[in-house]
Structure 1
Amino acid sequence: MLEPSSNTYFVSSVESINLSFYPIGLVIVGAALLAIFKFTPLLHSLSDLIKAKPHHILGVSLSIWGIAFITTLLNSWDTYQVQNAILVKQVQVTSGCIANHEIVRGNSREETFFVSGIKFQYNDYAAKQYFFANREHDTFIQNGQCVTIVYLPKFGNGILKIDKV
């Protein structure tokens, strides 16, 4: 569905993201961290160096690891939901010419436009798995440009692919 063609302006790589590596890598790092602190004198040396109790150092280290692990799981869950939506064909396709293209400038740049009555919006600060504005802002997205868009209605009309018509 998201295979690029010679007319493709943008295509998401969300289908090819492998989710299994990230949590497994963090589990391995966590186990290695525990093993290093448990079976080597590193924890006590570090404790002496920074004048903190070993269990405080271990607690801070595990807290940082826990935050990284939870963040990774939440990001992986978002990507999994998008991949699953693509797999079960919850994507929609619309074709038409861009209308009502508007640019809002602030701390970032947000753009909105309509194609066949469907509103799309994107920005230049959240480069997730969806289309986002090119920071150079030299884009073909402008009023009158005809496109075919593959998008996810359940995810705020997130654009997965744009083809020039």
Structure 2
Amino acid sequence: MKKITTVLFLLLGLIGGKKASAQMGGAQKITWDVDVDVDVKASKSAVWGFLNNNEVLQSYSNGYIKSIRAIDESREIIFTNGKKRSETIVQTDGVNKFMVIKVNKVSLPKGIKNVRIGIFTKDKGEKKSNIHWVAKIEGGKSEKQILMKQLKAEFDSYVKGFSDIKNGI
């Protein structure tokens, strides 16, 4: 009787295992609409500190951003051309040093439904790291193209600013 019970549990476990694995879908690769990165002569920890300090981050925008200020759980970015963007940092990971930003609905251009920006850091050795900016945009094709150009210009301004770090912080 003990052998029969053991065999039944084994069969039920196998059937249940197949059922569970059959329900799992394969991982889907995200295709980013904007994808920019830069190698920096600064440690990953230093870079993470820069990315989390609005005044320092604004200075590394290479003149593209006039100001970044925190407002409750959101922040407002004012660009040098006078445009504004309200955004919320929806995920931040101080251990792995990355963040995900959602552009708030009030700042979405007409025809755009959702914008997510990711900023990832990667250690590249002693006093060297990589910053990777990505964006995913949902919306109409022509509106999306315009916003992609704007975000690319913004990310490129950070690339220029962070590239100017010379001393290896």
Structure 1 length normalisation: TM-score?
Answer: 0.32
More strand by share: 2
